[in-house]
Amino acid sequence: MSTERIPFLKGHGTENDFVIVPDPGNTFDIPASLVARLCDRRAGLGGDGLLHVVRSAAHPEAAHMADAAEWFMDYRNSDGSIAEMCGNGVRVFARYLQRAGHVTTGDLAVATRAGVRLVHIAKDTDAGAGSGPVTVGMGRAELPDVEVAVSVGDRSWPAHNVGMGNPHAVVFVDDLDDAGRLLDAPGVRPSTAYPEGVNVEFVVDLGSRHVAMRVHERGSGETRSCGTGACAVMVAAARRDGADPSRLGHPVTYTVDVPGGRLVISERPDGGIEMSGPAVIVAEGTIDLAAFATTAELGATG
């Protein structure tokens, strides 16, 4: 280990918050135990996950995407587990790149474990620097033909099985309180449907193409927002409402309210999904590694 202090930033997208560790050369091997300590809200910096910012060419999982996207979002859940994708995380990731001077407003590509995602950073609003919304091309949804059900306590509901690069079970309920405290993972059947775990969204209708949701994210618990979850909710709601864009021949847009704010999700007739919402950097500093891990837990890799 070359240093006992490394830089960090803290950011959020609709209050889905992240510790950001800039590491363009992939110098640090950040183990799950350290990620969990950094994301701890009492003994660490606090976050729903960690964004490890690496140049694609420098990371073995992203090198094959380097020609399409200069930067790789090496995303970790708050328990340290690796995740394929995080929609709010991509927006915050892009905002960091803008703040650091690596990109400007306009279009860029970000490599993720779910593939390359196209991002558009809008110009600033009257609210000041870094205030323009960030729009992310989230790819296409998958609708696995597997019937699933979600339970909380002694109640159970049929769920919509939606893949957004990561798995989601979407449940429509009468009241968001039906989700219970959500600190414990809801039950999902059959147990074989999601061998690597699943994100569960509970959804209520607020109006025409306007819904609200709560989410339990695998590896993180209940969070204030989930970007891929909001996209999964939009897809499930559109299919339920008979508003499949591929059949209508025009884009369909839903407003999705999350506890931390509001996201706007659109699906095109070709299946492409776009998510638009805020992304904010709120703090910057250095991490004292001695306070979080032994030198054996964070080592230099290059």
Residues at the annotated binding site?
16, 77, 87-88, 166, 199, 217-218, 227-228
Q: Is 39 an annotated catalytic residue? A: no
**From 51, 136, 226, 289, active-site residue:** 226
Burial of 232 by CB count in 10 Å (0-12 exposed, 13-18 middle, 19+ buried)? buried
Residue ranges for the known binding site for substrate are 16, 77, 87-88, 166, 199, 217-218, 227-228
Strands 167-172 and 199-207: parallel
Q: Is 86 an annotated catalytic residue? A: yes
Instruction: Give the long-range contacts of residues 121-130, CB within 8 A, separation 24 or more.
Output: 121/94, 121/95, 130/95, 130/98, 130/99, 130/279, 130/280, 130/281
**From 86, 150, 237, 258, active-site residue:** 86
**Structure tokens of 95?**
């905002």
- Return all residues near 245 (Cβ < 8 A) that are at least 6 apart: 238, 251, 252, 267, 268, 269, 271
Residues with active-site annotation: 86, 226
